[in-house]
Structure 1
Amino acid sequence: MRTDNPQAVASTVRGRNFGALWAGTAATNLADGVVKLTLPLVALSLTDSPALVAGTTLANTLPWLLFSLPAGALADRVDRRHLIMLMAAVRVVALTALVGGLLLGALPLAGLYAGALVLGTAEVFADTTRMTIIPMVVPRNRMESAFAKLTATESVANEFAGPPLGGLLAAAGLAVALGAGGLGYAATLVALMVMTGSYRSNRPPDTARPANFRADIAEGVRYVWRERILRTFLLASSVAAACWAAWTAVIVVYAVAPGPMGLSPSAYGLLLGALGVGGVAGAAAAPVLTRRLGRKITLTVAMAGFALLLAGPALATSPAVVAATTFLGGAGTGVWNVTYVSLRALVVPDEMLGRYSGVSRLTSWGSMPLGALAAGVAAELFGVRVVFWGGTILCLVVLLTTLRTVMSAEFRHLEARAAAPPAPATPHAEATSD
């Protein structure tokens, strides 16, 4: 195919590449939802010790603390699409080994832990890298829309579709469920093969690069620290993530009978579903809110909505009230994620996006186990409602910090940078006409 309109060709290629990335994101997160539900069930089939069963989740999530920073540094050094494809292939191999061990009756608990650790490590490298590709496949004026689509897709596939599908497949056999997860990661690999072009960051020549990963990581951390506004938002997100984990850790005790809300297990499932529905709705609404209200108001309203997640059960035991605040908390999370991440992508240099993403993942995901631990101790010593009150107070502090930040002159300068054309750089290779 030949054309006299290079812009039309570039637009077509970008659309196809984004569509492939979107499909790969859906397949990956659907597989994640299936696998994360199934791994503890496999552990339960091997041991009746609650601590040993929980060890599977620990092994699967520990890589976020260990490898987030190296993952970001690697994403800024290699072709990002190839890195995600490699991680998809690693997950297919790991699940094949686990399925084989199950079918042969030769899967030890240590082998399950090893498989969970490999799967978690691959997830860290893939997820840290995925969002850094979006600026390479969509124009700047469509960035928020692209982030909204991928964020909503992640929520639907990972939280709504994946776990129920995993439950149905596990009923047919644990090996069937893990095998289906492997097929999902294989589908991701196929989808990314459709993409064309180079996805290396626009880094300086080799002579200007740090000599090793440690220097690379240190450079990324220094960059994050120098960007005061983005650093403030990153810390705000980390505190909010810890509060979210605290809510998640103890809401079941508060909601399910004999807890104060008196819900049945099925009604509790609907309550958690409100969080996911809110997240999808918020992610979808974020671009419209930003266009109509501006980022200042959108970010402030988003954090206020999230604060309601903790305030609802702190103030009331009514299922209707708590369900409403849960929905609004999820919506605030969705709006914040899309607005903040798209702003970050517009102002952080391409050669630094991977490392910034690594620092972001480390602080946000790393704060969640701390929030859950603090919630468990506080609930044990002082009661569950104290956790919600403490989280509400922290969220209000974050809300005031957000309001002060978006009203500053520095934030106006940051928005001006986001609106300005990107600095000249070596363009990413696009597919050429045949």
Structure 2
Amino acid sequence: MDSDTQPGGPTTVSTRNFNALWAGAAITNLADGVVKLTLPLVAVSITDSPALVAGATLANTLPWLLFALPAGALADRVDRRHLIMTMAAARALALAVLVGAILVDVLPLAGLYAGALLLGTAEVFADTTRMSIVPMVIPRNRMESAFAKLTATETAANEFIGPPLGGLLAAAGLAVALVAGGIGYAGALFAVAVMTGHYRSSGHPGPAANAPGLRADIREGIRYVWQARVLRTLLLVAGAASGCWAAWLAVIAVYAIAPGPMNLSRAEYGLLIGALGVGGVVGASAAPALTRRLGRRVVLAASMASLTVLLAAPAITSSPRLVAVATVLGGAGSGAWNVTYSSLRALAVPDEMMGRYSGVSRLTSWGSMPLGALAAGLTAELINVRAVFWGAAALCVLVLAATLRTVTSPEFRQLEVRATASYEPEPARPHWS
């Protein structure tokens, strides 16, 4: 067999391949930030019903509940680079259709929903696959730094640059903003296209006649996650934390913007939410150094503690400065957790399970967010907004306790030892700095 067909071998582990994947992720997330801001604006141009406008965002995020598991299973069966490229092409095509319908003024609300659903579905498959391809393009002893670069870049592009850019483009025209998003997805396709080598999982039989079906692959992936006790617990606490964060995000505007207790203007509220992204970039960038100095268990526990502070702050005080500090801290914890947990997962999970584990992980984290938002809305309606923060903080204390118990267990230490033992000698070429 030609070495070019061996996943994770010398032809895939290279600076060029990682940089191409990194560039593709940056461009994709920039386009995501533009498109996700624009879709509700397109809905507003069609209907003035708040519920129907919200339907565009619902259609765009619903695929995380519907397709995360199939996306993970498919990523373990096919060439992962080709799957990412196909999803980029599908998103560019979907936007081209939406732009055409807008220009000739024939876009119905149902058509917008269909386009948003397709865009969201492609995002699920592309993002899940990207997580499973990272260990195939970098030396294993560079995992932390690679995930730090990816997480910081994705946060900056998706939360800092993309939405404001989308607002500027939308001011010139909704079609202009969507065209820019389509160009971004096309650019991401070409960035990933320059990667060399093959990216099919080495441990899956692929399309052979005796290969298990997709449903069997999904069941096997769920069974693997359930049996990996430490990773399963970390995955579940991350899902619970995501639900708590979504609850905070769902009602913080009511609490923060005047006449709410914090008495902020809309512009000041935008800065408050932007503080999450600032913290996320800082936390992700600092995670590798913190892990080397303090260890993974400390970083993971401190990250979850910072989320507890984020949730509890508005329950305790309405001071904009204190809540802003807590928001930066919570964002930093989120960024540090994502890098530390993702790199540990990439080292501990075998290649043939990487896609399916990523799918289960995404389902848990992203799937819990609409549930958290729904619970927050009901609690705020039946009791008050501050009760949402108290409830989320109380749940997060339990999550923190579960995290502490897990990371201080002998099983976690054994997992770390196995992950560290899986380091492969860094290749002489290319040089990684």
Query: TM-score band, normalised by the shorter chain?
Result: over 0.9
Secondary structure, counterpart of 1:197 in structure 2:
coil
Distance in 2, matches of 1:78 and 1:334, equals 30
Residue pairs, 1:192-211, within 5 angstroms: 192-205=192-205, 211=212
1:35 equivalent to 2:35? Answer yes
Write the mapping of 1:294-309 to structure 2, written as runs, cut at 5 A: 294-309=295-310
Residue of structure 1 in register with 2:396 after alignment? 395
User: Could you give the per-residue CA deviations for residues 355-391 of structure 1, whole angstroms, max 9, x where no partner exists?
Assistant: 0000011111110000000000001111111110111
Question: Where does residue 273 of structure 1 map in the other structure?
Answer: 274
Q: Counterparts of 1:364 and 1:293 in 2: how far apart (Å)?
A: 26
Residue 379 of structure 1 is matched in structure 2 by 380
Question: Paired residue for 2:245?
Answer: 244
- What is the rounded CA distance, in whole Å, between the counterparts of 2:83 and 2:291 in structure 1? 32
TM-score by length of 1: 0.94
Give 1:297 shift.
Answer: 0.9
Distance 2:315 2:236 in 1: 24
Match runs of 1:105-116 below 5 Å: 105-116=105-116
Could you give the per-residue CA deviations for residues 129-175 of structure 1, whole angstroms, max 9, x where no partner exists?
A: 00111101100111010001000111000001000000000000000
Task: Tell me which amino acid in the other structure corresponds to 2:114.
Answer: A
User: Structure 1, residues 157-201: CA drift from partner, whole Å, max 9, x if none?
Assistant: 000100000000000000000000000000001101110001111
Q: Which amino acid aligns with 1:100?
A: G
- Equivalent residue, structure 2, for 1:48: 48
Q: Matches of residues 208-247 of structure 1 in structure 2 within 5 Å?
A: 211-247=212-248
Deviation at 1:12, TM superposition (A): 10
2:347 and 2:265 mapped to 1: Cα distance?
45
1:151 corresponding residue in structure 2: 151
The amino acid of 2:80's aligned partner reads R
Change (3 A) 1:21 1:408: same
**1:188-217 residue CA offsets vs partner (Å, 9 max, x unmatched):** 011011100011111244679752111000
Q: 8 Å contact 1:210–1:216 — kept in the other structure?
A: no
CA distance in 1, matches of 2:287, 2:423: 23
Q: What per-residue deviation string (whole Å, max 9, x for no partner) do you get for residues 387-429 of structure 1?
A: 1011111111111111111111101110011011369xxxxxx
Structure 2 match to 1:282: 283
- Residue identity opposite 1:316 in structure 2: T
What's the counterpart of residue 350 of structure 2? 349
Give aligned-pair identity as a percent: 72
Query: 8 Å contact 2:12–2:137 — kept in the other structure?
Result: no
What is the distance in 2 between the residues matched to 1:11 and 1:282?
Answer: 32
Cα separation, partners in 2 of 1:347 and 1:209, compared to 1, 3 Å: farther
SS of residue paired to 2:14: helix
State the match for 2:6 in structure 1.
none
**What amino acid is aligned across from residue 51 of structure 2 in structure 1?**
A
Whole-Å Cα distance in 2 between the matches of residues 209 and 60 of structure 1? 36
Report the secondary structure of 1:277's partner residue: helix
Rounded Cα–Cα distance in structure 2 between residues aligned with 1:106 and 1:259:
40
**Structure 1 CA distance for aligned equivalents of residues 254 and 205 of structure 2:** 56
Amino acid at match of 2:193: M
Once structures 1 and 2 are overlaid, which stretch shifts more, 206-215 or 23-32?
A: 206-215
The one-letter code of the counterpart of 1:252 is A
Q: Can you list the C-alpha shifts for 1:254-311, whole angstroms capped at 9, x where unaligned?
A: 1111111111111111111111100010000100000000111111111111111101
2:318 match: secondary structure: coil
- If the length of structure 2 is used for normalisation, what is the TM-score? 0.94
2:336 paired with 1:335: yes
Equivalent runs, 1:164-179 vs 2, <5 Å: 164-179=164-179
Post-superposition Cα deviations, 1:34-87, rounded to whole Å, max 9, x if no partner, equal 000001101110111111111111111111111000000000000000000000
Instruction: Give the Cα–Cα distance (whole angstroms) in 2 for the partners of residues 412 and 43 of structure 1.
Output: 50
Contact 2:11/2:197, CA 8 A, preserved across alignment: no
2:306 is matched by which residue type in structure 1? G
Deviates more, 1:413-422 or 1:29-38: 413-422
Whether 1:74 and 2:95 are equivalent positions in the alignment is: no
Contact 2:13/2:139 (<8 A) preserved: no
> 4+ residue stretches of structure 1 with deviation over 6 A?
none
- The amino acid across from 2:263 in the alignment is G
> How much does 1:10 deviate?
4.6
Partner of 1:427: none
**1:80-121 residue CA offsets vs partner (Å, 9 max, x unmatched):** 000000000000110000000011111111111111111000
8 Å Cα contact 2:12/2:197 also seen in 1? no
Task: Work out whether residues 274 and 330 of structure 1, in 8 Å CA contact, stay in contact via their aligned partners in 2.
Answer: yes
Query: Take 2:181 and 2:75, find their aligned partners in 1: how far apart are those partners?
Result: 25
Bigger shift: residues 10-19 or 55-64 = 10-19
Output the CA distance in 1 between the equivalents of 2:343 and 2:209: 28
Distance 1:318 1:49 in 2: 34
Look up the equivalent residue of 1:275 and give its one-letter code.
L
Q: Which residue of 2 aligns with 1:102?
A: 102
CA–CA separation in structure 2 for the residues paired with 1:403 and 1:141: 25
AA partner of residue 17 (structure 2): N
Distance, in Å, in 1 between the alignment partners of 2:236 and 2:112 is 34
Counterpart-to-counterpart distance in 1, 2:416 and 2:25: 29
C-alpha change, 1:136 and 1:383, in structure 2 (3 Å) is same
SS at match of 2:376: helix
Do 2:40 and 2:54's aligned partners in 1 also have CA atoms closer than 8 Å?
yes
User: What stretches of structure 2 of length at least 5 have no aligned partner?
Assistant: 1-8
* Secondary structure in 1 matching 2:195: coil
Write the distance in 2 (CA, Å) between the matches of 1:205 and 1:54. 42
> CA 1:319–1:356 in structure 2 vs 1: closer, same or farther (change >3 Å)?
same
